[in-house]
Every structure is written in C-alpha cells, then in structure tokens.
Structure 1
Amino acid sequence: MILSIPSILLGLGGKCLLNWALVFLQRSHVCKSFVGIFGVSLSVVDTAAILIFATIHVHSDGGVLLSDLQLTRYHVCLLAQILGQVYGALQWPVVVVAGLDHLCTISLPPASPRARWIVRLFVTVLLWYLAALYVFLLSDFTPVLEDVSLHQMHQCWVFHTTQILQVVTMLLLTLGCAALHAVCKDHITNQTSTHSRRSVVCQVLCIFLSAWAPLLVFLAVLLLLLLLPAGMPSYLGLNVAWLCFLNSFLIAVVLCVVGPTSQFAQGLAAVPADSFCEWRIKFSLAAEDGT
C-alpha cells in the first residue's frame, strides 16, 4: 500500500501516545511479566522511530547528515518498511514466549522477582536482536524504493500485516480446544474434578469476555469495514493495546489448560498480572469449589 509520510507520522504518533498511556496505566505491575517488559521496549522503539522520522521529514529539503550520510525521504520509507518487517517477525515469538511465561508463573512455585525480571529482560533484548537478524540476513525482505514523480515525493510504499489475524485464529482455536478438553474428561476423572474444571473454564471465559467483548465487537466491525479492504500497515500491527489483549487471552488459555491444581488450592501459585481482568479472585473461588 502507498501512504503519505505525514500519515505515517500521524499513525506512529498516535500509536506512541496509546502505548505510553497503557504503560502508565499498568505501571504498578508492568515489569512483573514478559508482556509488560516487552510493551515498554516496544514503546521505546516506537518513540525513537517517530522522532527519527519526524526529524528527517522536517529537514526533507536539505536532508539530515548522519556520519556523512544524507538522510532523505527514501530513508524514511526504508526505515518504515524495515520496522514493519521486524514487528511482523516478532508476532509469533512474542505469543510463544508470553504463553510460556504465564504457564511458568501459574504452574511453578514462585521464584525470586529479581531473577524473573532479569530473565524476562534478557529474553526481550534477545527477541529484538533475533528479529532484526532474521529480517536482514534470513528473510526474503526486499525494500520497495522506486523513483516517483514530484507530486509523489512525500509518499511511501509500506507492507500490510496479516500476522494478527493468524495469531487471533490460532488463539481462538486453542481456547476452544482447551474448553472442550476441560469439559470432556468424564471418562478419565471423577465427577467432582470434572465439575471443578468445567467451573473454572466457564468462569475464565466469562471473566475474559466481560472485559474484552465490547472491544472485540468494535474490532470486528473495524476489521470488516476498514482493515480488510485496505489492510493494516505493518508498523502498526504490534502495539501495547494488542499486547494487553494478548496478555488476557493467553492467561485465559493457560488457566483453561492448567485448571484447578493443588498449588492453587494451597495458595502457592499466582495468576499473572492483568490490568483488565480480575483473574486472581475469581479463579481462587473456582479452585476452592473444586477442592
């Protein structure tokens, strides 16, 4: 798709404001999960990108000199395409790592908060490095930088993203399979355990939908009316709002898979931090009912 540079700046600027607003909203526990730490790093990268793009665009007449390299409109387009490719390469690894992080938080005994913070920070930096390495060395990414006429000098070709639809589809299937697995265990579990697990799944789904159903309806309408015809620019596909939704979704999936365990019954496990869903109280009640 072809977008003007001002529209790219406007989109990235709005994304940065939304990112930092959500980070501030979750400031009390933003560093207690991989999703939170990665969200902060994403906000920093987006802020750096918008500052670089804006500086180059403002000085587009003479260009910006950086180590004897004159940065022009073509570099804005190139950086926007590279940024979108890196974000696209990060979608699936972020889902996998966040899911494993939630599974470890729920299933394993509590570890040192400082140790977990260091591990999550290291994994975050490693993912950014590997994603950039993949885009530059292993992928078939080819920048689209064509000579254009004078009236198109402030326009760029940018790629659209499809990873979000793939991730949502996968998560919906996973959540559905977890729910079916939980309610169809009569032949291998006793009646009390089955009832407890079914209660957990129902409460998890109710908690998740009560928090996210209005947004899901809005996004579905937006997707059908605006995004499917034109597509979403790849540099907007990865944002903190999406990470917040992904965080709640992955917690719901992990809770459905793990179910009422002895660690929950004894109060030895913790539910990952979530600013949008009250998992701890509801799940504790469900676990107590099943034990």
Structure 2
Amino acid sequence: MRTVDHKFRWRRHARNVALIVAALVFLDPQGASAVEPGVPDPPSGLLTDRGRGDVAEADRDFATKVRLAGLWEIPAGEMAQEKSNDPRIKSIGKDIAEQHGVLDKLVRDAAKKLDIALPAKPNADQQGWLDEMEAAEGEEFDQIYIDRLRAAHGKIFPAIATIRASTRNDTIRKLAQRTNQFVMTHMTLLESSNIVDFGALPTAPAPNAAAPGPAGTAQLASANASTPAIGGTPVLALLMVALASAAVTVFVVRYTTGNSRRPSYRRRSRYS
C-alpha cells in the first residue's frame, strides 16, 4: 500500500509541476518563441478555398485594393534597389517587391475563381507616389519610399481585418488571411529602416463608448486598465509567478524529505 500511495502522490505532484510550467510559459510568451520577419507562410491547410459563399461588394473592393497595392509597390521596390545608397533600404525594397509578386498571384487567382475584374495599372495617387520617388535621389528617396509605403500599409491594415472577420466567401477569407500576414511583415520591414516618420501617420480614432461588443468586453478592458503594475508587469502576474515558485519549492522539499525518511525494507529470504 505504501508503494501504491507513493506512486499516486508522485503522479499528482508531477501533474502539478506540469501545470505550473504551463502557467509560467503563458505569463512569458516572448520567451517561448520569437519570429523574425520574412516571407510569410500562412497555415494554408486550415482554410478552404473553393469559391463558396456570397461575394459582397466589400469583398470585390478588397481584392481590388490588394491588386492595386502590388501594381505600385513592386515598381517602388525595384526603384529602391536601383536608387538607394543604403544597403538596408535596398534589401527592404527587394523583399517587399518579391513578396508582392507572390501576393499579386494570389489575388489574381482568387479574382479568376470569383469572376472579379481587377485593375491593370496603379490609381492616380499611387502613380503620383511613384513619380515622386522617380524624381528623388539618395536619402530623400529613402525617406519618401519608406514613409509612403508605411502609410499605405497602415491604411489597408484595418480593411483586411474587416474583410477577414465578416466575409461569407471562403476564397476571400483565405486571401484576407494571407494578405494580413504579408502586410504585417512589410510594416515590420519598413520600420526596421529606423527612419519611419511616425509623427506623420494618422492617429487612431477616439474609442466609441457606445459601440456594441461581446458581453464582458468593456468590463475586461476596464479591469485590465486599472490593474496595478510594477515595472510594467501587472501585480497579478508577479503574484502568480511567486505562487508558482513557492509550489515548486514545497514539492521539492516534501519529495526529498519523504525519500530520506522512508524506511528501507530488506527482503527476507524464505529460508531464513
């Protein structure tokens, strides 16, 4: 019975330690993984792409926006490789141009499947940005290139979220998923230049207190906003880490003490 009880207690303690480790990983997700910007590789197998579901006007407009982005950002990236004197800007231009080539094929394939007409040349604003870059040289070109592309990506970012969350068509849903990952990568690449003029970017609109949301969202946001913190870390998180550490300490002490106190039994020979 003693051996069975010991095994049961050991399994229980092992389970508790596993839960503690999982909690620590949850509290420090940055330590668990780190992702560097690169060619996006979305989890394609998790979403269907059969052209099923109603295609709204917003879906068609989204596909048009994705196509337009490639029509000017690809030549802009090619200019960055030719006109910039900064190796970092050249690299950013190359990466974004190549990735937009991939994204452009994705949107053309989706448009063909859904019978959506796409533009063949940039719009007037985009052509104006390309002309502006063509006339600039050196550091002036670098600043224009980085700022124009960063502002454009910031504008399409919310549109992607709206379509991803609301579309009824599975092909558009998958296109939005992929576009989102490309755009996030491009914003990261552009910001890695360290010359983005963030002060020139539009500010976020004021929160709408009357906007409907899931039950409990407002209360959760309020609780998070009022949670005290120490050095930027919420007190609750620090308390959980302290409790987890204490639990591990107690387990180690009890287990080692139990082993040292457990009597040893010598197996007696049946002939003694």
Task: Tell me the TM-score normalized by structure 1.
Answer: 0.27
Return the index of the structure with the highest Cα Rg. Answer: 2
- Please state which structure has a larger fraction of its residues in strand: 1
Task: Tell me the TM-score normalized by structure 2.
Answer: 0.28
Query: Which structure exhibits the higher relative contact order, with contacts defined as CA atoms closer than 8 Å and separated by 6 or more residues?
Result: 1
